[in-house]
Structures are given as C-alpha cells and as structure tokens.
Structure 1
Amino acid sequence: MALDVRIFENISPSRFISFTIPNPISPLHLLRLAVLDSPVHSTDSSPRVAAILVPKHRETDWIFSTESGHLQLLLNLPGISRLILIGDDRSDSPTVYHRPIDEDNDSEKLEQRLKPLAVALSPKTLTGGEIDDVPFLIFDDDVVSSVALEKSVGPFVGEMLIEDVEIEIDNGVREFRRRLRFKRMPNLVQSDIKIVPRSSSSALNPSPPSLTTTEFRPDLTDLVHPYLAPMVASLSLIGSHIESKPKALCIGVGGGGLLSFLTLQLGFEVTGVEIDPEVLRIARQYFGLEESFARVHVEDGIDFLKRYSSTCCDDDAKYDVLMVDLDSTDPIHGVSAPPIEFVGRDVLLAARNVLVPSGVFVINVIPPSKTFYQELKEEFREVFAELYEIDVGNGENFVLIATVAARDRKNGFNRENLTSAVLVKYIDAIRRI
C-alpha cells in the first residue's frame, strides 16, 4: 500500500514511522527511511527538520536501526522537531565494521536526489506554508573499526552488545577499547576499557595489531571512561586517618572497570552491587573483573543501601567511600543519571549511614535540566555536611561529592597515589558548591 505523505503534514509528538523506497541512484536496492517527531512539545510556528544519511556499513547498528537510537540522536539536536534517517535497507548484522578509507561521491549524489523527498516529508507550518529545504547532517564519531563479540540479554537491562573498537583519539592516535552498550540507550557507552594485544609484534609477526587478527586482553591500569577518573579524583577528600586498606562500596558495576581499578591500583577493599546477573557475567568474562577483586551482590542498589544501613552499627562495618554510577532507564527523556528514585531523602540518609565519619559519597550526574540539577544539589545539602563538584568537561557529566563531615582538604587520602594514576587537573578542579 502506498504511503500517503499527507500524514507528515503535522508534528505528532513521539510518532515513529519507518518504510522503504527504491534507491534513486541504485534502483535494484532499497533505502530505509525512518521519521521521528520529537516527544518534546514545541509552540514554534516553524518546526525545524533535519535528515541524516546513515554511515555505510553501520545500518544495523542500534544507533540507527532502533527507535531508541533514533530518539537519542534527535534529542541531541536542540530545536529539531523531526529527524529523518536514511540508509541502506539491511537485515543482516555484520560482526565486523571498517570505516571506508576513500569516501566516494555517492552520498553527495544521494543527498541531492533525496532533498525533494525530505521536503515532502516535512510538516507544514502553522501559517500554512511549507519548509522549502531540509539540511542533511553528517554523523561522525571516533570509531574506525569494530568487532561484535557477543549480544546478550539481561533480565533487567535487556539486550546488550559487547564489542571491541578501534578509535581515533587526539592528534590522530588510535587506541583499542572494549565497550558495553545497552539497546535501550544504544548511543550511550555503558562501559569502556582499554584493551592491549596479548603479545606484541615480533620479527615473525611485524604487522600492526588489528581487531580481526589480534587477541586482546583488558588493560586495568587506566580509566578511559570520561567520568571515572574524576570520580577517583574525589578520593582526595577522604580523611587521611582511614585504615591502610580503605573500603569502597560501588553501586552499579557495569563492566567493572572502576572496581578493578580501586582494588588493583589503589588498594581498596571493594564491594559492588549490580542488579542484573548477566551484566556481572559479562564484566567477568570480557572486562577483566575477577571475583578476588570485589565482592559483588546481585541486588537492587536502593534495597542494598537501606538494608545495610539498618544493620551496620559500628564504623568497622562502614565504608570510606560510596560510589554510584547508575543511569535512568527512561530513554524518552534523554540520557540522564542518576535515576530520580535514587536521590530521595530516605536513600540519601541510608547512604550517609553506611559511611564512616570521614567518608564521602561520590555520584555521576548527567542532569536532564538545570532545574533537576539544582534540586539534586539541594537534596544533598539537606543531608550531608559539605558538597563538592567536578565538571567533567564533556558537556554532559558532573561528579558530585558529598561529605559526611567537614574536612580539611590538605589532609586528604594519599594524594601521591592519586596523582600518579589520575590526571591532576581533576583533583585541582574539585570545587565546593
């Protein structure tokens, strides 16, 4: 049945429509078009529309092939009311991706041929006119190549993908990483660690390492996820009189990179809490988290905090630091952290109660709005003595550090150990708020 383009004349919040058409420059092949209207209501009389050509060979990536991925792309484009994704119609899912070395002009030709269609799929304005042009945006990230290692399903987080990627970092330098992504928020990398070849190149094997020919192992000596180093930098606020083997409680394990680092690099006794047993299995199989590194409870983090808070009676049973890394499970509001239920007054009181008097509560925050962030800080101030902040500098993450008691920063936790493992700039960026 033919698609009636009149259904696109008005913005219908959260409406998602996907269909195929013949490729105008290669008629034997089909293109998949996906049209999503923003869930955010706009009173603008001139709704803005944008289109994105899906990168070649990444058509089945969850970022481009799922409604949740499409939604995250749209929410990262402020002011856009409708986003149109256009890419080859593929049902297969290649396990290996290589960024094309030489871009031909097919994309440019396709864009020019599809502009009239993009305009036809645009809404009429409230004044009765039509949008006469639609900008085609370029999706660009740092992934040079990738290899899917496994897709899995967890009872709480749903579908997951474990992949090895080669990325471009500053000054054209490339690095190998292992990543964990959830299908419900495919544009968000949940866990990210560095991987290195198990054996270096030799005269018998002089070729540089590649994802398809080299066996890799996790490198647990470095923190590459953007906000983990700032979280560790917050340990400079722990009192200097703590025991020689401090205790850390980490709620939200993910790939376990933070837990492994605290144990191996800083000598912490670590307890973890992870609600999804499949995530824990993946952390141990692919991300190097060993049972000897941390004792992990498979439990809801809030339930654990409240239960432990009611049973720990003396400081010997309490923790020097509580670290929370949990994101919201509601993709319609964009990437945000922590879940709103985690910062209720009863939860914050339980968090304070599981910490020693010199302890700190460290939490990764991705605020969905300035109002949310301000209210979050006020909640912390009502329960804790002092509140500090680190701006991660990526435009998304902030690390909040709440202290049980006031302290003198000059007498913090083994600063020399921290500065050897964490960039000094994050320690210097800690500011009281």
Structure 2
Amino acid sequence: MNLLPKSSKEFGSVDYWEKFFQQRGKKAFEWYGTYLELCGVLHKYIKPREKVLVIGCGNSELSEQLYDVGYQDIVSIDISESAIKQMRERNATRRPQMSFLRMDMTQMDFPSASFQVVLDKGTLDAVLTDEGEKTLQQVDRMLAEVGRVLQVGGRYLCISLAQAHILKKAVGYFSREGWMVRVHQVATSQDQVLEAEPRFSLPVFAFVMTKFRPVPGRTLQIFELCAQEQGKPTRLESAERLAEAVRERQQYAWLCGQLRRKAGLGNVSLDLCDGDTGEPRYTLHVVDSPTVKPSRDNHFAIFIIPQGRETEWLFGMEEGRRQLAASAGFRRLVTVALHRGQQYEGMESIQAELSARVLELAPAGMPAQQQVPFLSVGGDIGVRTVQHQGCSPLSGDYVIEDVQGDDRRYFRRLIFLSNRNVVQSEARLLQDGCHRVQKKRKKDRKKQRPADPADDPATAPGQSIDTSHLCCEHHKAMIAGLALLRNPELLLETPLALLVVGLGGGSLPLFIHDHFPKCCIDAVEIDPSMLEVATQWFGFSQSDRMKVHIADGLDYITSLAGGGGARPRYDVIMFDVDSKDPTLGMSCPPAAFVDQPFLQKVKSILSPEGVFILNLVCRDMGLKDSVLARIKAVFPLLYVRRIEDEVNEILFCQLHPEQKLAMLKLLEMAQALQQALRKPGRAWDDTYILSDMLKSVKIV
C-alpha cells in the first residue's frame, strides 16, 4: 500500500492526512523515532508537572508514553478527524485525563500563555515542504501561534531532520523574536528517515526554542548546538555558524551510512570535535583493504597514532595508510590522529571516548557484538609538549613542540598550523638535556609549582639541540650531494661559498657550518620570524662565516645576478623553500623558483664546477616533468634522488654533462667525504652513511 503523496505539497493538506490515517488503520505511525529513541532529549527539556501541547500528533504513541511515565498534563491536536477519533478511542479508558482535539495549529483556540511546552515531532517538516510564498505564510501563522500559546520561559521542542530550508526558517523566525535557539542532536542508533528518501541516513535533531520576555529596543540572539545527548551546549556566534555545524553533523551521518553500505569509497577523512568547545579533537582516516580476505575476526580495527607521529609517511600519507592497513590484515582500518591543544588521559580513556563513534564507521557484514580491537605503536599515546606558540605575518600561526620518537628520543619541531601535518623543521634534543628535564619536572611537582621555562634545558636557547644530527632525510641527501664537488676528501679544508635559500629552523646551514670549518654561508629567509625561531628554539646562531639575509630569495638572487662582473660565485646553491599556496601541485619550491629565466640567474652565480641542489616536492606528475625539463635546459647534468616513503626528490644540478659520474665513482666520492667527516675530534653522527644517500640516484 503506497501512502506517499504525489508531491511534497500534499503533506500540508488536510485531505491527504485524512486519507493517510484512514488507509493506514490503527498501526501507530512514528516519524523520526520512537519514544525510546527520543526520551533522552524529551526528559531533558520537559518537566513532569509542565503543561504540554503536542501539535500534529497523528496516531503516534509518543504522547501516550509520556503520559505513562508521569507527564499527565498533555493536550494533543491534529487536523485529521480520523487520527483524533482513533486516539480518543484508544485512550478513553486507559488514559482518561489525556485530551485529543481536532484543531488547526495555525488557528488554535487556546488562550495565550496556556502551555509551558509545545512539542512537535515532524509537523514543521511536514508543513514546510518548500519556500513558496503560500507555504511560508502558513508556517509563519503556525509559529506565531506556537509563540502565542507559550508562556515566557516556555519551550518549543521541535523534532526535525533540520534540512537547510527548515533550519533557516525556524532559527530565523525565533531569533528575530528574541528567543534562545538551541539545536540538540538526538542520539539514536537507527535514525528514522522519510520513506521517500530510503537511500539517506539523516540524523534527527531537536530544535529547543526558549521564549524570553521582550526587551524594548533590543533583540537578544543566542545560538547553541548540543552535539551529544549528555554533552554541554556550545555557544555559536551566528545563525550561519549554527547551520554550518548542523550541516557538518548531517554530512557525517551520510558518510557513516555510505560506509555501512559499501567499502572502497576512496580516501575518507573526517574530524571528530570536542563536544564542549567544538574544536577538532580527533582526525580519522578510513582505509579499506579489498585484497584482505574476510574472516570472522578481521572486519574492522582502530589504530591510534601516537602524538607527534601523525606527520610520518606511514600515518600522514594516503599511500602509507594503505600500506599500514594491508599489513595490519583488516578489511577496514580507521587511523586516529590526536590533535595538539587537546588533553588526553591515556589509551583507555581514548578508547572509551571513541568506541561508540567509530563503530558507526564499521563495514557492512561485521557480526553483531563483534569486538573491535584498538591498535597502536608501543601501546601508549606518545608525548607531545607545546613549548611555544607564535604568529608570523608571512607564515601564519605556528607552534614549537617537543615530541617523543619511536626510539624514546625527543625531537623539537616547527609546525605551521596552516599545514599542521607537515614538519617544517626538526631537530633532535640531547639525551642528557631531556633526562634533566624529566628530573626537574618531577622535582617541581614535589614543590607544587610549575616548571619555569627559563630554567628548563629543553626550552633554553641553544642548550638542548643536538646539532650533529640531521633529522630530515632530504637534508641528509643534500649534504651527500656535496660529494659531487671536486676532491671531496679535501672539502673540510677547502674554502667554500654556499648559498642556502630557506632557513626554517636553521638545521641545514648550521650543520654545514659546524662540519665544514672553511665554508662561508649566506642564508636567505623571507620571514624575519623564522630567524627568531631558529635562534631561540633550534640552537642557530650567526657568525663571521654564516650570515642570514632577510629577503625574498627571488629578489636576492636577481640582485646578485645583475651585478655584472662583480657578481659573486657560489660553489653550492641550495633551495629548501616551500610554497605558501596549497592549491598548487608543487609545494616546494614556489613555482617562480623553477621558471627558466630565473634558473638562468641561478646559473650565473654558480661556479663552473659547482652544484645546485634543489628540494622538489611535487605531486602533479605532468608539472614535475615540466619542471625537470626546464631545469635540464639550464643545467644539462641532472641527478635525481627520491626520498623513500616521502614525496621529496632531491635534484643535483651541474653545468657540464661531460662530468657525469658512474654510480661506483659517485659512491666512492661520498665515502671519501664521510671518511673526512669522521676523523677523530669531529662530531659526526654514525646513524647514517652518506653513500647510502646516493645509492638510488638516477641521471635524468
């Protein structure tokens, strides 16, 4: 039996609902959930002794079940005579105090201020079927009547799908009247949806509109969202932000529905926010492994990424997450990254917090009551301590944070919050410094006073950074590229002129300065804030052999290239500078740095036997091919070294193709350079080998 109307406008018709309830019979029609699914929010906003008006009651059991649990001052109205007759017959004996009246809610007979609650389950949605003039006029009459019959302090409690046009009308109407507007998401496991839209799983919301006494000359506007049944409401600044927050919840519900129905939706990611503040708390990535054969126990797992490790390739890149999921052996793996600025008590509390939410992302076919394992690295949530927060006029907000690596060593990182999953600069902290930090903090806790950052070796400038260690693989490869210079075994005693464009935390130029005692370095940095960061937090300092020039690298090189016969010549030029435009397929360097006319300027200040070393990060294969072609047109000898498990590629560019080295010879030169660096009395980190950095080099 098809009870659906021919058009949505019939939902507002008396004749349609008369026919609907006549044909449906005595079976209760529950739109948007049963009493058991709605009772949490109903009991929160309705007190047992309050007088309640239910508008558009139909033959729902909702008012009856409210009556049975103690809400006995209830009046229910509907425009359908059939529905009212059925409800009177059903309740005459069992619930004699209940009132059921046939009445048009746009012209109610009740005196003003008769009720403390008006309850509406789907009625506004049924009436507000479009935004036509007649429909909006009818809705205005309905809402005006709701406002008239409510007492000051009373509440209009409207259960709705909160579709955009309904939210706009309801929130707009009552906020203009000076009422407090709250939207409360209803926590139901299986949200009821319109039969006309069986493909969608829309969440159910409750509009809670509280009537305030009018203030002459002033309209009070309060907008709140309560995203969890027991959570605190979050105050929002505007109706537009409230609509956006509701839309986000609807999109999440739609995504969960899609994920329940099928696998392989691609790279799906979403944020779960703190219910009190609305700030992102967890970032989830859903990864399906279609090659994993299904079994009883491998349907679904959750992987908690330790704090500070979300930037690693295995966790931070789509390809890495796919590899992680495949190696874990689950049909679906959800990785969970923890946000900086949020507090986490430990793995158990995170599991308790996430259990209900992540189960909504489970794949179809997972057995009921299936235990979902929580996985991690090392069994803990990691350590991340924000040491400093700042804002650069050029780079935006940034943080300096210390994190614990998988080997229990501590690392300091510079993160730009505009690209929070990319480590801009990184340095390893000295182990003895970290040990002193832990001891001092324990001592301070005994004294019941917070640690003073000025006394802390981990925050004191220049006292805790291990400058002999390079954290970034692409920096190690760039150092290995110095072996392309003549006589690498003599480089430590050879006066070298280097130009490094892009300072960051200063790790690369500082390493060169400390390990090549005869070199002179010009470092160019466009952002003056970065020089301050490098000096204060990463142990960087200028000297008579290393100067920092605050300038645009493009302008600096253009100025040098235009110097005529007096132009300087550099033995090595390094580009390690990122783009601030996230829309490009190339994030390092900015596109202007690889324009052919500019590359000619770079060539003009490079010595004939020198090497130009470039860190290239480009995900657009067509764009990358174009960049390589432009570089090769200016530097005919081009070596390319891809960094494993990263997008970075290091380009080693030289001017004379006849100087091309065979792989064996190139490795011998790298070994000779490393032997010189490892001589007694020199601080060299033996955890990496320069020749390994060049083993996979290819000539383009």
TM-score by length of 1: 0.72
| 2:694 is aligned with 1:427 | yes
CA offset at residue 431 of structure 1?
2.5
Pair 1:364–1:313, CA change in 2 (3 A): same
| 2:503 is aligned with 1:253 | yes
CA offset at residue 426 of structure 1?
0.5
Deviations 1:370-416 (A, max 9, x none): 11111111111100130001111023111011112242544858523
Map of 1:13-412 to 2, 5 A cutoff? 21-24=226-229, 27-29=230-232, 50-52=268-270, 54=272, 77=318, 93=341, 100-102=346-348, 105-107=351-353, 109-111=355-357, 114=360, 144-168=382-406, 173-197=407-431, 199=433, 215-216=457-458, 217-240=464-487, 244-267=494-517, 268-292=519-543, 294-311=546-563, 313=565, 317-333=568-584, 336-406=587-657, 407=659, 409=661, 410=665
Q: Is the 8 A contact 2:399 2:415 kept in 1?
A: yes
Q: Measure the CA separation in 1 of the matches of 2:443 and 2:479.
A: 31
Pair 1:432–1:226, CA change in 2 (3 A): same
CA offset at residue 331 of structure 1?
1.9
Q: Measure the CA separation in 2 of the matches of 1:87 and 1:29.
A: 24
Q: Counterpart of 1:417?
A: 676
Q: Measure the CA separation in 1 of the matches of 2:556 and 2:398.
A: 24
Deviations 1:126-148 (A, max 9, x none): xxxxxxxxxx9x99899711111
Q: Give 2:348's aligned amino acid.
A: D
Structure 2 residues not aligned, in runs of 5+: 1-157, 166-198, 201-223, 235-244, 255-263, 285-309, 311-315, 320-333, 365-371, 445-449, 459-463, 679-683
Q: Is the 8 A contact 1:364 1:400 kept in 2?
A: yes
CA offset at residue 338 of structure 1?
1.4
Q: Is the 8 A contact 2:585 2:618 kept in 1?
A: no
Higher-helix-fraction structure: 2
Pair 1:335–1:3, CA change in 2 (3 A): farther
Q: Measure the CA separation in 1 of the matches of 2:612 and 2:443.
A: 40
Q: Measure the CA separation in 2 of the matches of 1:248 and 1:62.
A: 44
Q: Measure the CA separation in 1 of the matches of 2:423 and 2:434.
A: 28
- State the SS of the aligned residue for 1:371: helix
Deviations 1:58-102 (A, max 9, x none): 99579969xxx9xxxxx9558xxxxx99999x9x945xx667243
Q: Is the 8 A contact 1:325 1:338 kept in 2?
A: yes
Q: Measure the CA separation in 1 of the matches of 2:282 and 2:426.
A: 17
Deviations 1:151-203 (A, max 9, x none): 222221121111111122xxxx222111111122111110011112565759x
Q: Counterpart of 1:129?
A: none
Q: Is the 8 A contact 1:144 1:166 kept in 2?
A: yes
Q: Is the 8 A contact 1:201 1:207 kept in 2?
A: no
Q: Give 2:415's aligned amino acid.
A: R
Q: Give 2:231's aligned amino acid.
A: L
CA offset at residue 247 of structure 1?
1.4
Structure with higher RCO (Cα < 8 A, 6+ apart): 1
Pair 1:51–1:159, CA change in 2 (3 A): closer
Higher-strand-fraction structure: 1
Q: Is the 8 A contact 1:193 1:220 kept in 2?
A: yes
Q: Measure the CA separation in 1 of the matches of 2:396 and 2:352.
A: 37
- State the SS of the aligned residue for 2:405: strand
Q: Is the 8 A contact 1:52 1:139 kept in 2?
A: no
Q: Is the 8 A contact 1:273 1:297 kept in 2?
A: yes
Higher Cα Rg, which structure: 2
Q: Measure the CA separation in 2 of the matches of 1:350 and 1:342.
A: 10
CA RMSD across the alignment: 4.8
Q: What is the number of residues matched between the two proteins? A: 379
TM-score by length of 2: 0.46
Q: Measure the CA separation in 1 of the matches of 2:392 and 2:360.
A: 40
- State the SS of the aligned residue for 1:219: coil
Q: Is the 8 A contact 1:197 1:215 kept in 2?
A: no
Pair 1:387–1:62, CA change in 2 (3 A): farther
Structure 1 residues not aligned, in runs of 5+: 11-18, 38-45, 70-74, 79-83, 120-135
- State the SS of the aligned residue for 1:102: helix
Q: Give 2:356's aligned amino acid.
A: L
CA offset at residue 298 of structure 1?
0.5
CA offset at residue 274 of structure 1?
0.4
Pair 1:201–1:108, CA change in 2 (3 A): closer
Q: Is the 8 A contact 1:355 1:404 kept in 2?
A: no
Q: Measure the CA separation in 1 of the matches of 2:397 and 2:613.
A: 28
Q: Give 1:330's aligned amino acid.
A: D
Q: Is the 8 A contact 2:399 2:414 kept in 1?
A: yes
